[in-house]
A and B are shown apart, each in its own frame.
Chain A
Amino acid sequence: MTSQPSHAQAAGDAMISMAGVEKWYGDFKALTDIDLSVRTGERIVLCGPSGSGKSTLIRCINHLEAYQKGEIRVGGTLLGDDARAIDAIRREVGMVFQHFNLFPHMTVLQNCMLAPMRSLRASKAEAEATARRLLARVKILEQAEKYPAQLSGGQQQRVAIARALCMQPKVMLFDEPTSALDPEMVKEVLDTMIALAEEGMTMICVTHEMGFARQVADRVIFMASGAIVEEAPPAEFFTAPRHERTRKFLGEILRKH
């Protein structure tokens, strides 16, 4: 890696780069020729109708889904079938899921301490200090000793964010983080994400929260049928969408809100 500093430079500041990525489920083509480059500190919002491949796209970035063609690099590391590369990338990339996926048999604190202790070999004291600091940051430290089932959906999702942050990731992926929440809990989660964005975290968010997109996104990407249809800064994306499918989608989603 050190032998080719100029090459890394040439790739610019790309934290994530996807080139010609394609993915099939059997005969069904889920992703078509995806080219996407995300700079360090950039905040991307990914939207599109259901089944458009947006979740599949971000799930390829941490190899929860394998891809069949093209190339994905995260922080310069090529993501292939090599288990060591997959592991290295997962250590740098945090993910927040629609259904939280907290570990129900562990307390909030244990949820946050497990991965740093197992994967980063942090000591128990270090892991606990980090966990408490990040639980405080998502304003939920007072629930540290509780079990996930004792918390509301919004609280669980904030714990899930803290749990991912405990690995000190360079990138955070959000897969419809507010879709499973009751309306009154959406704001607390979005506020947490906004705070994170303001601190400079590189983020890719699959979401239909267009207010969030307007406020924090550097770029909004619209997908349909497994392909990227349009990408633009939010001001342009919302006021002057170029493609018919984008206009139709925006018309439908904005009417709902």
Chain B
Amino acid sequence: MGSDEFLFLLTGLKWTVALSVVGFVGGGVAGLAVALARTSELPLLERVTAGYIALFQGTPLLMQLFVVYYGLALIGLKLDAWVAVSIGFTLHASAYLGEIWRGSIEAVPKGQTEAAKALSLGYVSRMKDVILPQAIRISLPATIGFLVQLIKGTSLAAIVGFTELTRAGNIISNQIFAPLLVFGIVGVLYFIMCWPLSLYGARLERQFATTTR
């Protein structure tokens, strides 16, 4: 395998990172909205978002990508592969992060909300200053765990023709007929991204366990 081939893999890696970042940031923003809606104590809003979460957690990511890419094309909305997978991953991540963060918000002791209310803090300040800083801390290990899943999940974007790391590996492997070498390298590249994150998540979890004891 020459340096050209390797550079092609790195280009794929770049798109994998870009897709992960877009999915995580977009999903994070939408996920926060989902988590706030789920804890809003407004029955309609809670039910709608519960359904949203159930839908995206109950169907395969691959199917979601198909629906966004081919399904929207069928109703006349022809999206670029990059845009389609970005939307797909954002929706997917928002459902999972929304559910993780809903749990974290509910894990903050009720006395915190009561104290904030008794101090006449409004909803925005109650969330922004009191509840979310504590909820985010509680959610960090699970959030990082999900990020690792998301990075690996981006390989599914290969199926709709998006040239990220896995598809780049497939292309090179077909050119030089060395699947073991190529996919070995692809695997190592995924591992380099995911393993430090997993370690970091585990460390935060231990830290959290000791400080709450």
Contacts and interface: CB of A to CB of B under 8 A. Distances in A.
Interface of A: 62-64, 87, 90-91, 93-95, 97, 99, 101-105, 114-115, 118-119, 163-164, 167
Contact of A90 (B109, B118, B137): B118
Given A105-B134, A114-B129, A118-B125, A164 B119 contact: yes
B114 interface: yes
A187 to B, nearest CB: 24
Contacts of B43: none
Nearest to A119: B120
A99 B129 CA distance: 20
Main secondary structure of the interface of B (DSSP, over half): helix
7 contacts: A64-B117, A93-B118, A99-B111, A101-B112, A105-B134, A115-B120, A164-B118
Contacts of A102: 115
A99 B114 CA distance: 11
A62 B129 contact: no
Contacts of B129: 103, 114, 118
B122 A87 contact: yes
A90 B134 contact: no
Interface residues of B, number: 18
B119 A115 contact: yes
B130 interface: yes
A124 to B, nearest CB: 14
Contacts of A164: 118-119
Contacts of A97: 111, 114-115, 118
Nearest to B115: A101
Given A103-B112, A103-B130, A105-B134, A64 B120 contact: no
Interface in B67-108: none
Given A62-B118, A114-B119, A119-B120, 18 more contacts: A62-B117, A63-B117, A64-B114, A64-B117, A95-B115, A99-B111, A101-B112, A101-B115, A102-B115, A103-B116, A103-B129, A104-B134, A105-B134, A114-B121, A114-B129, A118-B125, A119-B122, A164-B119
A126 to B, nearest CB: 16
Contacts of A91: 120
Contact of B117 (A90, A99, A105, A114): A90
